[in-house]
Chains A and B, each alone.
Chain A
Amino acid sequence: MNKFLEFLESKFMPFAGKLAAQRHLGALKDGIILAMPMIIIGSVFLILGFLPIPGYADFMASVFGDQWLAKLMYPTDATFNMMGLIAAFGIAYRLAERYGIDAITAGVISLCAFLLATPFNVPFTPDGAAEAVAVGGAIPVALMGSKGLFVAILIGLFSTEVYNFIVKKDIVIKMPDGVPPAVSKSFIALIPGFVVISIIFLIRLVVEYFGITSIHDIVQLVLGKPLGLLGGSLIGSIIAYGLIMMLWSAGLHGTNIVAGVLNPVWLMATEENQVAFRAGEELPNILTAQFFEVFINIGGTGATFALALLMLLWSRSQQMKQLGKLSIGPGSFMINEPIIFGTPIVMNPLLIIPFFLTPIVTIVVTYYAMKMGIVAKPAGIAIPWTTPPIIGGYLATGGKLSGALMQAVNIVIAFTIYFPFFRMWDKLKKAEEDGANTTSKVS
């Protein structure tokens, strides 16, 4: 076990450091985070549209008319379902910031390039027609959301790379002295912007030449499918989670380091569920962003809410009792750094065992409970990850009691797994404290 801990410290620290310093991953994570507040705002309207109160829908229809729900979804469509568009801007902006070049210009170039990669027509099936026809003059809303996320990521990174390359090579239009700096600055974007737009234009022409509908289709096939398999499968998720837990065991913010890569996949699953939920259809995904935030990380990574409860209720050692009091508050809002560093779980061979075991068990149990239809799946409603347990499960499933109950069950599971390890640790701490007291009395 000590060898393992040494391995974590010596190999994982530099690895995590490099990963965190990696510009593109960082820009990807921060750029997508930009969309999160909007996703949550969109979810608020979603919750309002589907309040699980008997007679609510009839009441709303009688007050606001038949179209009340469609109208209530206007804000959701313009926030939640624009995550691709926001990411196209945000990722380029954050990457440019890291390169120290004009971020807002990079964002705008990327935004236009993203739109250029998207054909401006939508399929429409006229009454009586068998096949859909493409109607021009419309930006396809579906591709502005998570369906366009992968293209947004690629273009955001690529266009800013080109921008940076050209600016750093000093291939810019130089203005003679005496031209106001603001004027010459406005020309700096011209060459890189032109190059980026031309490249995406050419790619689109080639793609269309081969009879493929759009760049989105190719990217979805090449990138979306394999990543979807990793993040969307139970085994893939457990592996990803194992990695997150391993980093946390070494005291590093694993979620922050690993989730950047899988977040697009999990967010995409969230949006697919949201669309199905609104249409009243069967929800296609179990493993969405909320599956982990709401059902697995109860009290923070490692489901430590149960451990905080154990400390509060059954500690004999003073230190654990104090920590229980200190950590139950933040733990109720899914923040657990006090527990992770204070107990500590970090680098502690005894407590790392339940810390690893609990999320894996709860992932499997929750997954199958949802798959078998015992518990409602997350409805594609994004609530803040700091939402307290029980409330969170209820809201995230679109107001299903089974969601709240699942969280309660997971707390009980965590409680059971942590219990024996907590008792051993508490005993050790108590012995330490007693030992310290007797020595101080003697001396």
Chain B
Amino acid sequence: MNILLCCAAGMSTSLLVTKMEAAAKDQGMEAKIWAVSADAVKANIDQADVLLLGPQVRYLLGQMQTLGKEKNIPVDSINPIHYGMCNGPEVLKTALALVNK
């Protein structure tokens, strides 16, 4: 399962990546999780099964969902509180729910 995260510079989401990786490991799940800046999404989306946006760039959601539709993958923004608290397990759950929908 490949989870792509995106925010303005890919920095603050990279914080979340480590927490989500830990959560995935706890659940014995194979997951590739990585964070990129908004302009790098196009170059990365082909490897992704799901794309999650940081809440601070959720104004890009419309644009990204169109892109997601083209590539046939789900796209959503991350719950701000989960994002702020770097809640890896919850965000992982969101990603899984989106893929299995």
Q: Which residues of A contact B (CB under 8 A)?
A: 13, 16-17, 20-21, 26, 30, 94, 248, 251-253, 255-257, 322-323, 326, 330, 335-344, 346, 386
Which residue of chain A has its CB nearest to the CB of B62? Answer: A17
Q: In the complex, A337→B86 CA distance in Å? A: 10
Residues from chain B with a CB closer than 8 A to the CB of A343 are: 84
CB of B11 closer than 8 Å to a CB of A: yes
Whether A251 touches B60, Cβ cut-off 8 Å, given contacts A338-B84, A344-B81, A346-B80, is no
Q: In the complex, A252→B54 CA distance in Å? A: 10
Q: Which residues of B contact A (CB under 8 A)?
A: 7-8, 11-12, 15, 39, 54-63, 80-81, 83-86
Whether A13 touches B59, Cβ cut-off 8 Å, given contacts A30-B39, A326-B86, A338-B86, is yes
Which 6 residue pairs spanning A and B have beta carbons closest together?
A342-B84, A341-B84, A337-B12, A17-B59, A253-B56, A16-B59
Residues from chain A with a CB closer than 8 A to the CB of B56 are: 248, 251-253, 337, 340-341
The answer to whether B15 and A338 have CB atoms under 8 Å apart is yes
**Known pairs A21-B63, A323-B85, A338-B84 / 14 extra A-B pairs, C-beta < 8 Å:** A13-B59, A20-B59, A21-B62, A26-B39, A252-B59, A337-B54, A337-B84, A338-B15, A339-B84, A341-B55, A341-B81, A342-B85, A343-B84, A386-B11
The B contact surface, by secondary structure, is helix
Q: In the complex, A330→B12 CA distance in Å? A: 8
Q: Can you offer 8 A-B residue contacts whose CB atoms are under 8 A?
A: A251-B55, A252-B56, A252-B59, A337-B54, A337-B56, A338-B84, A340-B56, A341-B80
The answer to whether B83 and A337 have CB atoms under 8 Å apart is yes
Which residue of chain A has its CB nearest to the CB of B55? Answer: A251
Q: How many A-B residue pairs have CB under 8 A?
A: 78
Residues from chain B with a CB closer than 8 A to the CB of A341 are: 55-56, 80-81, 83-84
Which residue of chain B has its CB nearest to the CB of A18? Answer: B59
B94 to chain A, nearest CB (A): 15
Q: In the complex, A323→B86 CA distance in Å? A: 9
Residues from chain B with a CB closer than 8 A to the CB of A335 are: 11-12, 15
Which residue of chain B has its CB nearest to the CB of A15? Answer: B59
Whether A326 touches B7, Cβ cut-off 8 Å, given contacts A30-B39, A340-B56, A346-B80, is no
The answer to whether A251 and B86 have CB atoms under 8 Å apart is no
Which residue of chain B has its CB nearest to the CB of A346? Answer: B80
Q: In the complex, A287→B26 CA distance in Å? A: 49
B23 to chain A, nearest CB (A): 15
